[in-house]
Amino acid sequence: MLDIKQIRENPQLIQERLDSRSGKYDIQPILQLDRQQRELEVTRSQIQARSNEIGKIVGQKIKSGIDSQDPEIQTLRDEGNSIRTQLSELEPQEKDLKAEIAQLLLALPNLPSDSTPIGKSEEENVEVRRWGDEYIPQNQNILPHWEIGEKLGILNVERAVKVAQSRFITLIGAGAALERTLIQFMLSVQTQAGYVEVSPPLLVNTASLTATGQLPKFAEESFKCADDDLWLIPTAEVPVTNLYRGEILAAENLPIYHCAYTPCFRREAGSYGRDMRGLIRLHQFNKVELVKFVHPSTSFDELERLVGNAEAILQALQLPYRVVSLCSGDLGFSSTKTYDLEVWLPSSGKYREISSCSNTVDFQARRADIRFKEAGKKGTQFVHTLNGSGLAVGRTMAAILENYQQPDGTVLIPEALQPYLGREVL
């Protein structure tokens, strides 16, 4: 959530930043309601002050010996009753205005950072670096991961569709074992890097999705339970960030690093016809998520380290990838700056996203009311939150099945995974 004070004091700058994003956002209704609310607040404060004054005067007169039924006292009491009636009308109006402003603020995305490239679509994203060109396969006849997976008997789509519907997949035998191995490997690497593993709920309430920015804007992307205020998580970012919702943390306990493996559930609304085959775009997929709670002065440095933590997995698996800085028009709703890691998929001859690492600064913390307090200082500040995939497990498996595919139809197992999986080849 954006700070209403920031919007009030810098309306032109805020509007320009919002205009650099995709979509249309207008802050004028917010500014108009804010003016009305502040004018009403001034009026209410003045009336309340007069009410307090009347109470004080009446008390003094009675204390001095004037009869409580004296006409002067009665006139003051009548004025006081009139004021209370006015206050009873003004207070709900002010409350309603504040609620309306809050709802409009919830619909505004985060502002792109100064270092975020300006652009309208993914075509204007900026490549930062590449790694692992020497590991790009020279074999020209590489099958797509879903075809080699079916040939190896480790992946089945038809039975998954029978059980559920399209955009679901079943892994069998070595396929299921490889996915489990990848999860264990990713968690091991990240816990060794200083992240504390958590296993959070897979169902979250509306307040949790609102805090991290999925609601109200992206309700159609999530699966909601019919009879409860519960939603299936689209990413572990949601429950892990909300572990600290409404809390004031001690500054000396920052930074806090968490990693979590969870299944993730997304409707993929609007993506029909895209990536209908394979492991790239499913309704249910596994992911290891990285979440940070940090001091505001360090958050952009923490973003660079977060990207490095995700890169460490790809480098250990010797999978070619590139790092891309997303332009303002391609940013996620809650992000101020995002780097995507895109892994090389030889069957399609292009890089595909495998991790998205974002700094949300105080945007999520303001919605979730997560603050910190420094010893010896008055007041509190909002923490900065960051999140990133470390990594998307299915997409990592897809990259392995293609990049490690051999001309004879076998698939080598990356050396880093062999001790976990107990085999060298599929």
Which of 21, 212, 200, 221 minimizes the C-alpha distance to 113?
21
Q: Are 241 and 387 contacting, i.e. CB atoms less than 8 angstroms apart?
A: yes
- Cα–Cα separations (whole angstroms), residue 396 to 64, 280, 376: 84, 9, 47
d(CA 306, CA 259): 11
DSSP one-letter code for 125: -
DSSP one-letter code for 187: H
Map residue 85 onto helix, strand or coil: helix
What length does the chain have? Answer: 426
Which of 104, 112, 55 minimizes the C-alpha distance to 79?
55
Q: Are 225 and 203 contacting, i.e. CB atoms less than 8 angstroms apart?
A: yes
d(CA 278, CA 287): 16
Residue 271 is which amino acid? S
Q: Are 399 and 146 contacting, i.e. CB atoms less than 8 angstroms apart?
A: no
DSSP output for 260-290? EEEEEE---TT-TTSS-SSSSS-SEEEEEEE
Q: Which residues are CB-neighbours of 259 under 8 A, at least 6 positions away? A: 187, 190, 191, 195, 196, 197, 198, 288, 289, 290, 291, 390
CA 2 to chain centre: 14
3-state helix, strand, coil in the chain (%, to 5): 45, 20, 35
Catalytic positions? 266, 281, 353, 356, 395
